[in-house]
Structure 1
């Protein structure tokens, strides 16, 4: 009886291996002009991916990792892909690990992420050896995908014996459950996983990471629920309502990537959200923005306010605290907080 309980506990904490078919994971190269224009490759078919005529190895390359219970048909992937397709300087590869990110979060998805991460690291190391420039490579991950980005970064450094390190990892509200306050049972995304790690917090202590662990951590609207424009939580786990603040991180990211929005997510350094509200900021010698164009020579915690609907960025207005009731779109209706869904 005791042994059975112990084994169940190990699986609960993600320590016990479960059989996962890692070959179900696919690379999707989006080349536009619409999200329907893409090429799909098996996880271990990186040779043909590198030879794809739509992959320009002279450009920057982003690998996007979606979160728990997601797949390429969800809104987040479409929004992210459309934002990158507006640019001409970046290749976008999305990892479709939908089958592995499904099922029970504890028993399936987290365990699968811990197995898939090292396998991806091996594939990427081979790609770096055959033409993909690690200096122009950037991993962006949302929720559980953000935690898997950290696993990949650590594995690349370990397998190369410290010779190689991912240039940049961005965590979009990295998943909280099992990765924090668990005595290290599941290592979380940290500043050491890449040369530069930026983290955007929007639902801290609930679905998202509760503390600062990146090279730089951004805390829009304090980094917690409720984000402006999001509905009062109904606490129906994983419902659209309950996930609104958690999802706001990838909305912010997509807006920062897109060329359509001239106003940026200006941010300022402060010791805490309370200090930010009192305008007790730490002076910086350079303008700092959250998102795609974040400078990579900064560190620490940065704060800002956003609107409750798109465009979310408030530019310089976002670094002077105002009553949240004054923010555009802060009407507590989910429908008003996001644009219309992308046609699939």
Structure 2
């Protein structure tokens, strides 16, 4: 038996507390607390803050290079500027050195009750971010060089923002690429209340699943969906869950998505995380995959011309990429 404040997540049998979604402390935050952070140098500390309403001012910075692609990274629930996820991803781009890097800092809005504060705030934020994207595009950023990357709830914001860009431009503008790193599960699936990220939100919507059915989206939701190690908890190298919500152990699999992404970004000379197209994880394990489909690379090098579900295995620690060996299932060795 489980208590009245607990539920079972379907297909996993994992017990979670309803208090995570509706019982945490409320938070008061306004939309103007969110800002854009432009990384202008070689260090993480080389950054300038801009109100979202002044996004176009970033284009006037001497260090902004309109010849380079621009990545906009959106963090997830209860994350902030000093979180490991933000530093790891941004420093990977700094190491790469060939992108303009803009970070959406919405920490105050991403705090408090998940369902009562953070999700509604995410919806409102996506609207003003869409206005900022239109300003950037109208003032010179090439839409085909604009890439939105979001983790967890940030992945859902990316989808909502992209749909608003299309709506506000009377369907004349469509973002080239959205990457969602284990996009948030509740309350976006099955989509009765909030529409989830979808394959029509951009020309390419690539999704990395690492904690499906818990914190991450339970189903394929992009143009191409990558399912490393089956896409579910526990990812290799993660400790067994202690079921205390939002602890490091609990979030390990969910966070693995941005570790994979950062590793691919930091590798300039080598394409990381080759994956093969299969109908399911069981088919991958049995070697029953689509031999005619091209290999796709999970991460920054994902091509525009692939679609469907792709599978691979990774290592349990850095470097996570197993190379071509990751495209063939290797059973876990019992110790």
Give yes or no for TM over 0.5. Answer: yes
The aligned residue for residue 290 of structure 2 is: 282
Displacement of 1:97? 0.4
Superposition TM-score, scaled by structure 1 size: 0.87
Q: Point out the more displaced range, 214-223 or 130-139.
A: 130-139
Are 1:161 and 2:170 an aligned pair?
yes
Deviations for 1:227-250, whole angstroms, at most 9, x for unmatched residues?
000000011101100000000000
Name the CA distance, whole Å, in 1 between partners of 2:258 and 2:152: 10
8 A Cα contact 1:269 1:284, kept in partner: no
For each residue in 1:213-240, what CA deviation from the matched residue of structure 2 results, as whole angstroms up to 9, or x when unmatched?
1000000000000000000001110110
2:54 corresponding residue in structure 1? 45
Q: 1:196 to 1:263 in 2, by over 3 A?
A: closer
Question: SS of the residue aligned with 2:211?
Answer: coil
Alpha-carbon offset, residue 86 of structure 1: 1.2
Contact 1:31–1:85, Cα closer than 8 Å, also in 2 = no
Deviates more, 1:71-80 or 1:27-36: 27-36
Alpha-carbon distance in structure 2 between the residues aligned to 1:98 and 1:52: 24
From 256, 260, 269, the counterpart of 1:248: 256
SS of structure 2 residue aligned to 1:218? strand
Instruction: State the alpha-carbon separation in 1 of the partners of residues 286 and 293 from structure 2.
Output: 21
Structure 1 vs Structure 2 CA RMSD: 1.7
In the other structure, the counterpart of 1:107 is: 116
Q: Does 1:191 align with 2:195?
A: no
Q: Matches of 1:64 and 1:263 in 2, distance apart?
A: 21
Q: Name the SS of the counterpart of 2:282 in structure 1.
A: helix
Q: Deviations over 1:95-134 (max 9, x none)?
A: 0000000111011000000011011101110111011111
The equivalent of 1:91 in structure 2 is: 100
By how many angstroms is 1:47 displaced?
2.9
- Structure 1 equivalent of residue 230 of structure 2: 222
2:177–2:202 Cα contact (<8 Å) kept: yes
Q: Who is 2:15 aligned against? A: none
For residues 231-270 of structure 1, the aligned pairs below 5 Å read 231-259=239-267, 262=270, 264-270=272-278
| 1:262 to partner: Cα distance | 3.8
Q: Distance in 2 between matches of 1:73 and 1:187?
A: 30
Deviation at 1:259, TM superposition (A): 2.6
Match of 2:8 in 1: none
1:24 aligns with 2:33: yes
Residue 67, structure 1, aligned to residue 76, structure 2? yes
Q: Distance in 1 between matches of 2:180 and 2:60?
A: 29
Q: Secondary structure at the match of 1:171?
A: strand
Decide whether aligned partners of structure 1 residues 260 and 87 sit closer, same or farther in structure 2, where only a CA change above 3 A counts: closer
What residue number does 1:337 align with?
none
Contact 1:255 1:261 in 2 (8 A): no
Q: How many Å separate the matches in 1 of 2:271 and 2:322? A: 7
- Listed as ranges, the gaps of 5+ residues in structure 1 are 1-11, 332-344
